[in-house]
Structure 1
Amino acid sequence: MLQTSKILIVFPTSRAIRESIKRRSNENLLLPSYLTIDEFLKKSISIKNKKYIDEEQRFLYLKNASDIKNLSKLGISNNFTSFLKQSDYLFRFFGELAAEKVSIDSIDEVDTYEYYKEHISILKKIYNNYVTILDTNNVVDKINLPNNYEINQNFLNRYESIEIYFEGYFTNFELEIIFEISKYTKIIVNLFSNKYNQKSIQSFINFGFELEEGYEYKIDLTNKSIIEKHKEVSNLENTKAVAFTSRINQIAFIKESITNAVKSGIKAENIALIVPDEKFVEILEQFDDEQYFNYAMGKSINNSKLYKVINSIYSYLNENERKTKESIEFYKINTEMIDSIKKIWNKKLDKNNFDILIEYLKSIEHNKELTEKFDELTYKLDHLFFNTSQNILFKEAVKILIQKIQKITLDDINSGLITVMGLLETRAVEFEAVIICDFNENYIPKSSIKDKFLSSIIKKRVKLPTQKDRENLQKYYYYRLMNKAKNLYISYTQNETMQVSRFADELFKDEINPSTKDKQYKQILYKNKSIEHFNETIEYEIDLSKQEWSATSLKKYLECKRKYYLEYICKIKEHNISLKPKGFELGSMVHKTLESAYKSFQVQNINYELIKSLFEKQMNENPFLLLDKEIFLRKLNIFVEFENKRFEDKNLSVLEIEKDFKFDYNGIVLKGSIDRIDKQDDKYLLIDYKTSASLKIDSIKTYENSVDFQLEFYYLACLELFGYDKIKAYYYDLNNSKLLEEVVLLEKLELLKNIFIELKTKKVNFEKCEKTSTCQYCEFKTICDR
């Protein structure tokens, strides 16, 4: 039996280690020890008389170090909440300087614009302040680690040799450690050289190795010798790339690709789905009815009750919109607790109140793993918020809490056989079939916040990785992943805002086809349901004169008998899911505003400020009406001017507002509400408010085809109920602030009498209207196939 326990194998990821152990499980030998590269580097060094800093303390030290003038010039706020989110920019920048062993002073030495010099001066001050605080407190993090470490020989003495599977890139600090280790322990490195990773390969060439592009090497760092050299071999046999107009439709392609791969003889566990944007997983989970997938990155908790509740509370107290109110009701959130939080929402954070919220959130979540991770998170936040003097508001603390909760992931225990992973997880692992979704410029190449403060030109001069270097590294990962696979399936979105990634031209140019294939795949995700239109004749024994009639119902009957039947006899109501404004919403708000104005105040007190305040109190919760509201407010200003001019006539007064009526007219019940009745001398002016921009008034030439008898209903009500005799009827065009008289009032009354006679029926054929233009905005047009 071969003894291998003195050998340490180092892989880029834990997954690569698991794959290696699986491959070697049938070998008759003791397995070597395994570590990831991060674990190996951490164990290979030690720090004397110091300790590693925890994340929360690290942030607080940086916050103190950044308490300087001109911080805002870096695009960073000194506000505690904002700084918590933006601090990562500074940590990444300083961390990269340390990792590449580049002095911040050396940036000053390169030829830069004044714009950068000021930025660099600010960054230097923060950096020096931060390092001073670390040294004063005897702690170490990534930024000062290169100056505070030594090789841990006690750890390295356990092994006769260490074999590293190198995939991608080592920083200068990591190389320094590895080259130093090679002096004490035999170091073997497996690496692959191609056109995309020459910056990384150059480090080994500088160390004395002659390495060519297109080869895989096993090199001995300790003895500076090449052990093995193999020509690049690609396993790729089949490539398929498909474009979709909708991102979600890629899931249909993913499912078909899995089926095709399995049919070709590939086992499900040898298939991987690569997601460049891990947020896509939340969409994918919703369609995983077959339970195909296991998620290497863990499962998001965005659908957990804990997250939904805290997010609903924050949205409700911050926005107070219809959807946020409904969310509070849907999740049955304790309203007493909501009311108590509301009182302190904009006040300084208090520990007791914050603890009450935390305990409530724990009480409504029953996932044990999530509650344990939530406990760990809140313990850290407790240290961050209350062990130091931070002047933050309660609502800011809740926002921070939500941001931290969003980063929690749960282990995928009920997993399928097909692995879903990000690009970095693919290092040093092989799959026979690889599916890559979202191959779009939006997600590939992935941008880095490390590039925030310096241009690529300056980075190149001081030998920091540039944006091009990062892009080449990503190309290297994709290239390796694709060429190790047998079957490759790629999907991307092609529409007005999303295009295929520029990487496609280099990696699979011949497979790019801009034509989209949504229709070919839609049956996989969506069951085809043909709508059954109701085209049969509807005849109904009914006496329509026994119905109660309003001007609105009569208009709908005259426009389309089928529409009247569906709404007033079948009682079918329009759904109220869409937030798209309905035709009546703005008009209803205007009516209520004018009703309040004229009922509560004397006419001579009507002014724009009054109208504006009343209009703004109309709490319509539809956000899409905001623009319409603002536009109509300007029109109401003109309305007020017009009204004031009218009421210069002291004999003019408002007699009634929103006057309801219901009466029997020749055996037919008529009902409604008169918007307004003005009195001028001995005349009565009936007014119907109109907010429509396309208002048309009947004339002697057109009235015979009229279906709108609103003013005629008003007229009959005034005659029957109030005994008025001198009556004039007007449409009040609120768009243009004009009174438009119903000039064919008497003619339309005669027409209406004949219509009422026709309503005395025994049987009615509720047929569809012939004029299809009527159907354009009808809520029943789908039923009628119009």
Structure 2
Amino acid sequence: MATFIFDVLKDLQKKHVNLSSITFILPSKRAGLFLKHQLSQVVNETIFSPEILSVEEFVEELSELKTISNTELLFEFYNTYSSLTPKDQQESFESFSKWAQILIQDFNEIDRYLIPQKNIFNYLSAIQDLSHWSLEINKTDFIKNYLSFWNKIFTYYSHFTEQLLLKKTGYQGLIYREAVENLETYIQNNLNKDHVFLGFNALNTSEETIFQELLQSGMAKIYWDIDEIFMNNAIHDAGLFTRSHKNKWSYFKNNNFDWITNNYSKEKNISVYGIPKNIGQAKYIGSILKNLKQENLSLTNTALVLGDENLLIPVLNSLPSNINALNITMGFPLKSIPLASLFEHLFHLHKKPSQSFYYKDIILLVSHQFLRPLFYVNGIDYAAKLTETIESNNLIYVSVERLKEITEAKCNNIIDLLFLKWHETIDLALKNCSELILNIKSYLDENKNSNLLSLEYLYRFNELFNELTLLNSKYNHISDILTLHNIYKELLSTETLDFKGEPLQGLQIMGMLESRVLDFETVIISSVNEGILPAGKTNNSFIPFDVKVENKLPTYKEKDAVYTYHFYRLLQRAKNIFILYNTEADVLTGGEKSRFITQLEIEGIHKLSYHLITPKVPIINNSLNTIHKTPAVIESLKLIAEKGFSPSSLTNYIRNPIDFYYQKILNIREYDEAEETVAANTLGTVIHNTLEDFYSPFINTFLTVEAIKKMKLLIEKTVRSHFKEVYKEGDITKGKNLIIYEIAKRYVSNFLDLEISDIQKGNNIKILAVEADASAEIKIPELDFPVRIKGKIDRVDEYNGIIRIVDYKTGKVAQNEVEIVNWDEIASDYKKFSKSFQILTYAYMIHQSGSIKLPVEAGIISFKNLKSGFLKFAKKDKSGAYAKKDVLITDETLNLFSIQLKNLILEICNPTIPFTEKEI
């Protein structure tokens, strides 16, 4: 296919123009690269390459100024602001930066469009004066300061630009204004120089002035790329600027307007795809490219234009494997690189000065993929050691000294870089970041081949922190970590990691602006939605809309027209066009398809084929996880049976057999992280241990009121001691933990009060055992290996001559949870009967050991339901009524229970019954 650039070169050749002597000026550097490539296809002899410049490079050459970064402009502007604003009215650099960037952008627009600065700034000041209390006699200080700010804007502008010009630097608008100032001199010094402008559309006033002057002086030619469809339609935005140039430029009254083409009306295959969500679009782009490859269409002549550049990574992950060559013209945002999260964590950690650090922040840092290798010293993983120590000791806030103590001084250097001296000076904070990068680099250098991409990440971040260090040393405006963090984020949002590849080969992936002047046979355009293409009404400016219109500054209408031109220009010479839009409505960006698609429909020039794409969602049958019992599993079960099943492991099997498999066969335990708030099981352990301490001295002794009252005096000391033992170094002096600590003391106190009340009523309580280990062998003829059950019983006592087996529960338990009607359900319904199963297991073990005689009582004391006292196990008949002596556990009771117990163990050990997950 003949491209616009190729046609321009052929036209120049036909006019016998010496191509080597021309200075080509294009909208972008990338277009220049394609021009150089096309040049080799036009000329048949060896020639010197012409000078090829982007319009920014050309204007910079005219102005004799150098462009500086937006961040450095901000620092320079703060110099101006500080020198012109009284100290008592000055804002911090962080606060200043939030509005100054908008003002610099306004300065840029005013200069690019050659608006008389004083006039517009005075006009803005007058508007604010009229809008804000101009007739008020007694203005507040806030109002005075506000109006004073608007009065000073021209002074700020004048001082700011003077300082930049003295340093031979500038922002784009200032460079354009200076270029216009120097234009006459340039023309006089370069009368024999020929210029060719090609592919331009929307021009600011500075560009229009420069182009027209060079055209009128006979030093230039200009080639437009516009189709007659758009040019002849007075309301079509794709031709808005070109029509204006043709009608208003005096040059075209006597000279031809090159060119108006008729490519757009030629036959095209246009397919419009409505696809839900961005990821859906990315995946479908992969499908389109796969089909193009299979149809043997050249991907070298294919452009993938991403309307939303956030789609880059999803698209790269969705490309088919048969794409061998790829050229990406947009950079990968640094903020999306994994290394960015490391410095984000560090800045978050140091926002406030502190001597100790929150454990989750520490674990997050030492576990980071770029930092963890630095904690691996002499074969020891100190990152894992730090994490384990923090979690096992419930260290919520950890000092640097404690971190060094844990790592045994092996990681002192890296710990200092991460946690020390960040608040002494900003220079030290930046130095820490740079040294951290060097430490990571040293590790990556050892495995260079497998870490080339990571080294590239590191290099870009090293550049970023070098720039921050340079800016801070030059201007010294960064006063604290918060400001540094904001400037870092500002830099990070604009910096990219540029891809390296052969720009003229393979699939071309680009943003809409990178497509200027370029033509492709096949075009795929994504995110063609309102709010993206075009961007819609955005007004990030101090200049009101009507003032912009009055001064011929661009508004959202002109910006929409720019995107309209780029969109239609992509379609002009293309043959195969795929337009994708998101069908899912979004609160912020809307969700409707772009007006561009509707416009294509209304024009009726091309037939559009429409497709609504829905993701292929496979039907996944929710099957319960099943683990078959292999010989190895059976061997593990035999070892467990020989060692002894605990009541909790058996009830765990009843609840969900798959959990029993994970915990008992595979020995997988739940992850125990640091308890920031005291956990329920910790509270239960503290109470159990406290009561064990209190009652152990009274085994085989009747309790007395005096003895229990003495226990009450020891509650504070004993509970605190056990918290320290169980909760380690966790803090129980404030917050929720203090409340839980007080609850523990109250539970113990209330329980002892219940005991006192019982004794005062004339009941005799004799302690027989506390926290007693119990076990028993179960005879199961069907199994050829021994089976035991074992457990720890909280308390065994004698209450008015009846032996009681008591289980403490810190949670709430009701009477109906220790009652049973149907024995067949006790080993199958966890929710209803797990507590009954547990206390009956304790009774069975004690009876089998021969240490007590039946009948006995077994039950639960619930610390959240103490008013109900001892909740006794009870057997009801099938009608739900209590049978005679239903609370006593007799031989008959245990015989009936043992049948269920043996059946449960037989099921667990049966090789033909798999561990099957239960729906919970």
Q: TM-score, normalised by structure 1?
A: 0.75
Structure 1: distance between partners of 2:426 and 2:101: 27
Letter in 2 for 1:339: I
Q: 1:175: how far off?
A: 2.0
User: What residue is the counterpart of 2:681 in the other structure?
Assistant: 591
User: What residue is the counterpart of 2:5 in the other structure?
Assistant: none
User: What residue is the counterpart of 1:95 in the other structure?
Assistant: 108
Letter in 1 for 2:106: F
User: What residue is the counterpart of 2:403 in the other structure?
Assistant: none
* Cα separation, partners in 2 of 1:512 and 1:354, compared to 1, 3 Å: same
Structure 2: distance between partners of 1:245 and 1:657: 67
The structure whose residues are more often helix, as a share, is: 2
Structure 1: distance between partners of 2:496 and 2:336: 12
Shifted more, 283-292 versus 565-574: the winner is 565-574
Q: 1:432: how far off?
A: 0.6
* Cα separation, partners in 2 of 1:329 and 1:255, compared to 1, 3 Å: closer
Q: 1:347: how far off?
A: 1.3
* Cα separation, partners in 2 of 1:505 and 1:661, compared to 1, 3 Å: farther
Structure 1: distance between partners of 2:469 and 2:317: 34
User: What residue is the counterpart of 1:687 in the other structure?
Assistant: 808
1:332 to 355, 373, 378: 373
Structure 1: distance between partners of 2:97 and 2:851: 70
Matches within 5 A, 1:473-488: 473-488=562-577
Structure 2: distance between partners of 1:657 and 1:60: 77
2:73 to 58, 67, 71: 58
Q: 1:384: how far off?
A: 1.8
Shifted more, 420-429 versus 256-265: the winner is 256-265
Shifted more, 713-722 versus 397-406: the winner is 713-722
User: What residue is the counterpart of 1:39 in the other structure?
Assistant: 57
CA deviations on 1:607-654 (whole Å, 9 max, x unpaired) are: 9x999x99x98999xxxxxxxxx999999999987776666557289x
User: What residue is the counterpart of 2:394 in the other structure?
Assistant: none
User: What residue is the counterpart of 1:238 in the other structure?
Assistant: 269
Letter in 1 for 2:808: I
* Cα separation, partners in 2 of 1:564 and 1:548, compared to 1, 3 Å: farther
Matches within 5 A, 1:103-142: 103-108=120-125, 114=131, 122=149, 125-126=152-153, 128-135=155-162, 138-139=166-167, 141-142=170-171
CA contact (8 A) 2:857 2:873 kept: no
1:170 aligns with 2:203: yes
Structure 2: distance between partners of 1:751 and 1:79: 80
Letter in 2 for 1:45: S
Ranges in structure 2 where 5+ consecutive residues have no aligned partner: 1-15, 135-142, 352-357, 376-410, 446-451, 602-606, 692-710, 759-766, 780-786, 828-833, 875-886
Shifted more, 354-363 versus 142-151: the winner is 142-151
CA contact (8 A) 2:528 2:581 kept: yes
Structure 2: distance between partners of 1:89 and 1:387: 23
SS at match of 2:572: helix
CA contact (8 A) 2:776 2:845 kept: no
1:775 aligns with 2:788: no
CA deviations on 1:239-273 (whole Å, 9 max, x unpaired) are: 22334445334333223322333455532210111
Structure 2: distance between partners of 1:397 and 1:640: 48
Structure 2: distance between partners of 1:456 and 1:617: 64
CA contact (8 A) 2:302 2:522 kept: yes
SS at match of 1:669: strand
* Cα separation, partners in 2 of 1:764 and 1:82, compared to 1, 3 Å: farther
Letter in 1 for 2:423: K
User: What residue is the counterpart of 2:406 in the other structure?
Assistant: none
CA contact (8 A) 1:301 1:409 kept: yes
Ranges in structure 1 where 5+ consecutive residues have no aligned partner: 210-219, 621-629, 778-786
User: What residue is the counterpart of 2:705 in the other structure?
Assistant: none
Structure 2: distance between partners of 1:243 and 1:331: 44
User: What residue is the counterpart of 1:404 in the other structure?
Assistant: 491
* Cα separation, partners in 2 of 1:393 and 1:228, compared to 1, 3 Å: closer
CA contact (8 A) 1:685 1:730 kept: yes
* Cα separation, partners in 2 of 1:43 and 1:516, compared to 1, 3 Å: same
CA deviations on 1:473-521 (whole Å, 9 max, x unpaired) are: 222211221233111123344346473443354355585868432119x
User: What residue is the counterpart of 1:571 in the other structure?
Assistant: 666
Q: 1:558: how far off?
A: 3.9
1:196 aligns with 2:316: no
User: What residue is the counterpart of 2:644 in the other structure?
Assistant: 548
Matches within 5 A, 1:434-445: 434-441=523-530, 443-445=532-534
User: What residue is the counterpart of 2:884 in the other structure?
Assistant: none
1:296 aligns with 2:329: yes
SS at match of 1:775: coil
Counting aligned pairs with the same residue, the percent is: 15
Matches within 5 A, 1:502-521: 502-509=594-601, 515-519=612-616
SS at match of 1:664: strand
Q: 1:15: how far off?
A: 2.0
Structure 1: distance between partners of 2:911 and 2:720: 51
Q: 1:429: how far off?
A: 0.6
SS at match of 1:188: strand
Q: TM-score, normalised by structure 2?
A: 0.65
Matches within 5 A, 1:369-518: 373-374=460-461, 376-390=463-477, 392-394=479-481, 397=484, 400-401=487-488, 404=491, 407-413=495-501, 417-441=506-530, 443-446=532-535, 451-454=540-543, 456-457=545-546, 459-495=548-584, 497=586, 499-509=591-601, 515-518=612-615
1:207 aligns with 2:302: no
CA contact (8 A) 2:283 2:315 kept: no
Q: Which has the larger radius of gyration?
A: 2
SS at match of 2:817: coil
CA deviations on 1:735-761 (whole Å, 9 max, x unpaired) are: 999878354275675543223444675
* Cα separation, partners in 2 of 1:180 and 1:251, compared to 1, 3 Å: same
User: What residue is the counterpart of 2:702 in the other structure?
Assistant: none
CA deviations on 1:448-468 (whole Å, 9 max, x unpaired) are: 875254554554345332223
1:256 to 267, 287, 290: 287
* Cα separation, partners in 2 of 1:110 and 1:430, compared to 1, 3 Å: farther
Structure 2: distance between partners of 1:634 and 1:751: 44
Structure 2: distance between partners of 1:575 and 1:236: 65
Structure 2: distance between partners of 1:282 and 1:656: 70
Q: 1:36: how far off?
A: 1.1
Letter in 2 for 1:701: V
